[in-house]
Chains A and B, each alone.
Chain A
Amino acid sequence: MNIAMLNIMLCRFAGPFILLVLFASVVVSFLGYEVTAPVLWLDGILIILFFTYYTISQGLTFYVFRRILQTFFVLWVIATMTFGLLRIIPGGPFDQEKALAPEVKAAIEEKYNLNAPLYEQYGNYLLRIAKGDLGTSYKYYDRNISDMIADSLPNSFQLGIFSLILAFLVGIPAGVYAAANHNTVKDSTTMILAISSVSLPSFLVAAIMITIFTFKLGILPPALWDGTAFYIMPVVVLGLRPAAIIARLTRASVLDVIRSDYIRTARAKGLSETVILYKHVLKNSLIPVLTFAGPLAAGILSGAFIIEHIYNIPGMGKHFIMSVTNRDYPLVIAATLIFSFLLIISNLIVDILYTYFDPRIKLS
């Protein structure tokens, strides 16, 4: 078997195979089954293999390597800034309504090493993070931060992935549909819907949906996170706004591309409008959507506070808000680092995907 064959095999089979496995994982999870650890590992390894192969085959190895090195530096800067800011805001983790007796306060500060000089606390803390130890929570006594994240992040990921898929599945076709019917009633109706979805606050949409689907129709549960019926409302509410933004971005970008010369050529060749739109126009219109997708993915995957709060989903979202309210320093830092890491990685993935959607883009 020669290299050409290998390439054909990889493109023909490996790509669809990976997509199928990932898609199956999502569907299985959505159906309320527990996706087991080996399957999750398989998913992860497949994605990494795919990106490694793509990176190497496109000659991006050095670029990606450099970006990963940069990531460590950025994370260090963020960790330092968070550490500093937390010490600047007034109020400490053990300040509360009932003032502690001075002896008790001294003992607590001693226990958590809060009485040591700042540079020493900072040094200890960096050292621990470098070892991968995120410490224990101040609020939830003796609970490991890593355990807390392991308990909550998968739920946020689940919610986030469902919502992202929904956003793309709805947003892109809606955008293309509106653009294809440019300046008609269909276009304006789609766009009015999109604008309202962007402007309606999610807690309001959530409340309205609960009133309809729980209290009037009695078909969906109002809260919790334990199976398909529980997933539907939060996923729709969370996915609605990004779907609308994606629809608007896609529409604008499709309108841009649709006027270019090669589309006129395609039309002249007699290709059907559907083929033109979905094969030739769409691929080249996705760059702005991709740019938006990076931060969107990071934001949604790391926990949507309001949605998780309303639907009582035990995800990461609350840790972002509550850890600051509680001045739970180790948890604040861990949450910030996780968000930053997701943001950096998703931006890297987006940058790599640019080269796929538009081969003219060269990363160096």
Chain B
Amino acid sequence: MKIQNATKQKKQAQKILKKTTLLLFLSATVFIFSCTKKSKVDYDLDISETLRWHVATEPPSLDWTIATDTTSSHITGLLMEGLTRHGFKAAEVTTEPNLAMSWESSKDMKTWTFSLRQDVKWTDGVAFTAQQIIDGWERLLNPKTGAEYANFLFNVKNARAYLEGNIKDFKQVGVSINDKGQLIVALEAAQSYFPSILAHHSTFPIRKDLIEKYAGKWTEPGNHVGLGAYKLKIWDHDKAVVLERNENYFGKKPKIKYVLGRIITELSTALNMFKIGDLDVVDDFPSPEVRMLRDTKEYRLFSILAVYYLGLNVKRPPLDNVKVRRALSMAIDREEINNILEKEKIPAYNIVPPGLLGHDANIGLKFEPETAKKILDDAGYQDRSKFPRLQFGFNSSENHQRIAENIQAQLKRNLGLGVELVNEEWKTYLKSLQANTYQMFRMAWVGDYPDADTFIGLMVTDGGNNRTQWGNKRYDELVKLGVSESDKEKRKQIYFEAQRILNEQEVPIIPIYYYRAHRLVNARIKNYPQNVMDKFDLDDTEIIK
């Protein structure tokens, strides 16, 4: 009986099993068909009309008032325009009309009047107005925005006070619209290059209505609007950004229809993709590859406005002695350092890079090891063993390490000095610099706007980025004079004098090299932009079909 029951149960179970198998099979089929094939590699773009470009990191923000990094500025540069723009056709960077057709200043250069274009429309069809610029500046200076580039407008009357909250009404800040529809800007102090600053994305107009409507999501595709040559089509976070040509752009229309920016953080990965033809441009690649790539036709090398330097803390012995500082500067052969960097940089002896008014390669202390030795002897250190311990700090990176080791070797060889190298993780390093931990440290400066002032102004007494504790009254005076001087020749002389103080007499910093950037561009791309600001303008760029 028991056995019979068991058999019966088994048969029943087998029946159910058959039915279930069928059911399972059916549901599995439905299940598979409910899933859709994804094909996103090229976002269905026509590759013959698409520039496939390497974006080195997920853009932190496409909100141009807030963004501070290179990636974001490259992209917003295509999506948006400012009152002025930079021109790179001449030897020195020029400031060209853009949303502003023309401008003029009062004699004392404290009041500027901008006449704006009336025919410009945003990508959603709304007209561009002067009020949108005021809105943008209000937002940049509003403490609630927390914009890191708010200092760009600090010279505008009462701008600082508004940021600090001492003035609540933005009408008291020095920007207004007159009855002709022109934008009037009142400055605290004369500033000859003020229009040049307005080419920076932090000062661009905004659409307050959309920012209020979408809050943090206004930079997403669909919500985002701009005045630029391209509009934002897709932002697939951490993967890609796709831009599409703006057919209603007021300026010169670009020839390339789409820009596909692939976000690739690892340089060698980007290089691999370039090699198999999946990318048209890589903006950077690992330095050991330079030797392999420099002779290819894809390789490009160009100057950018940036300088790599050593800071010397002038309050810390033995560097409080100016003779020691001069000796150090003269004992470091910049050419030798450039050699270990595959000769991709330009040896620097002063702070203003080529391409700017105020640059003169002859200013600065040249490499003279014998003189350096004598100066050090003069400073009272004939007996090198009496020379105090010298610490040289830098942030951990393969390149900085190589440079620091080379400098260490050179100082040993040329002066007989021992230097102790210390490296730290980036943010820890910045904290150490704030605390004046090191006597010598490495730093770099990238120009925010194409004017010598951004470099010269770096070293003013108590300047936020002057980490050497150095200060000089005459130098500070020259910086002020330089900002307000409109005569080019006079301005040049002012900057020459300032650099002689900085790089020949006082030497609180030792410039090592001016940057040059390298990149690879596929042969199918013609006229890829290349300029000292590394501005990404595709006006003339073409794809050869």
Q: Mark A residues whose CB is within 8 Å of B.
A: 5, 8-9, 12-13, 17, 20-21, 24-25, 28-29, 32-36, 38-39, 89-92, 94-104, 106-108, 110-112, 136, 139-144, 147-148, 151-152, 210, 214-215, 218, 221-224, 226-227, 309-312, 314, 318, 325, 327
A-B contact pairs, 24 of them (CB 8 A): A8-B13, A13-B17, A25-B31, A34-B37, A35-B35, A36-B34, A91-B427, A91-B428, A91-B430, A95-B430, A104-B150, A106-B164, A107-B145, A136-B216, A142-B215, A151-B237, A222-B269, A222-B272, A223-B264, A224-B41, A227-B38, A310-B266, A311-B269, A314-B238
Q: Which of B60-68, B348-356, B384-392, B472-480 contacts A (4 or more CB under 8 A)?
A: B60-68
Please report the C-alpha to C-alpha distance between residue A107 and residue B149 in the assembled complex, in whole angstroms: 12
CA distance A34 to B39 in the complex (A): 10
Cross-chain contact of A318 among B20, B67, B151, B265 (Cβ < 8 A): B265
> Looking at the complex, which one of B61, B237, B269, B429 makes contact with A141 (CB distance below 8 Å)?
B61
Residues from chain B with a CB closer than 8 A to the CB of A98 are 448, 465
User: What B residues does A312 contact at CB under 8 A?
Assistant: 263-266, 269
Shortest Cβ gap from B111 to chain A (Å): 24
Most chain B beta-carbon contacts within 10 A, residue among A107, A224, A318, A327:
A107
B163, A104: Cβ atoms closer than 8 Å: yes
Which residues from A are CB-within-8-Å of B544?
Answer: none
Contacts A33-B32, A90-B431 aside, 12 further interface pairs with beta carbons under 8 A come to A12-B17, A35-B35, A91-B427, A97-B443, A99-B465, A140-B60, A140-B61, A141-B63, A222-B273, A309-B265, A311-B269, A318-B265
Alpha-carbon separation in the docked complex, A218 to B273 (Å): 12
Please determine whether B266 and A309 come into contact, CB atoms closer than 8 angstroms: yes
Tell me the minimal C-beta distance from A218 to chain B in angstroms: 8
- The answer on a CB contact under 8 Å between B24 and A20 is yes
> Which residues does chain B contribute within 8 Å of A215, judged by CB atoms?
275-276
> Chain A nearest CB: distance from B430 CB in Å?
5
Nearest-CB distance from B210 to chain A (Å)? 14
A148 vs B58: C-alpha distance when bound (angstroms) = 11
B427 / chain A contacts, CB cutoff of 8 Å: 89-92, 95, 325, 327
Q: How many residues of B contact A (CB 8 A)?
A: 68
In the complex, the answer to whether B13 meets A12 with C-beta atoms within 8 Å is yes
Q: Which residues of A contact B36 (CB under 8 A)?
A: 33-34, 36
A143 touches B276 (CB 8 A): no
Q: Is B426 an interface residue (CB 8 A)?
A: yes
Contacts of B143 in A (CB 8 A): 106-107, 110-111
State whether B63 touches A226 (Cβ < 8 A).
Answer: no
A99 cross-chain contacts in B, Cβ below 8 A: 464-465
Q: B460-482: which have CB < 8 Å to A?
A: 464-465
Check A36 against B265 for contact (C-beta < 8 Å). no
Instruction: Write out the residue numbers on chain B whose beta carbons fall within 8 Å of the beta carbon of A136.
Output: 216
Contact: A139 with B40, CB < 8 Å?
A: no
Residues from chain B with a CB closer than 8 A to the CB of A29 are 35
A24 to B238, Cβ gap below 8 A?
no
Instruction: Give bound CA distance, A214 to B430, whole Å.
Output: 41
Q: Is B535 an interface residue (CB 8 A)?
A: no
Q: How far is the CB of B61 from chain A (nearest CB, A)?
A: 4
Q: Is the beta-carbon distance between A107 and B38 smaller than 8 angstroms? A: no
Asked if B60 contacts A112 (CB within 8 A), the reply is no
Scoring B residues 501 to 515 as 1 if CB is less than 8 Å from chain A, else 0, what string do you get? 000000000000000
State A111–B24 Cα separation when bound (angstroms): 55
Q: Which residue of A lies closest to B466 (CB)?
A: A99
Residues of A within 8 A of B145 (CB): 107, 111
Smallest CB separation, A95 vs chain B (Å): 5
Is the pair B444, A97 in contact by a Cβ cutoff of 8 Å?
yes
The CA of A289 and the CA of B160, in the complex, are separated in Å by 64
* Beta-carbon contact of B35 and A34 below 8 Å: yes
What is the CB-to-nearest-CB distance from A140 to chain B, in angstroms, rounded to a whole number?
Answer: 5
Against A, the Cβ 8 Å flags (1 = close, 0 = not) of B259-278 are: 00011111011001101101
Asked if B379 CB lies within 8 Å of chain A CBs, one says no
Cross-chain contact of A148 among B216, B237, B268, B276 (Cβ < 8 A)? B237
Indicate if B127 sits at the interface (CB-CB under 8 A): no
- The answer to whether B431 touches A91 (Cβ under 8 A) is yes
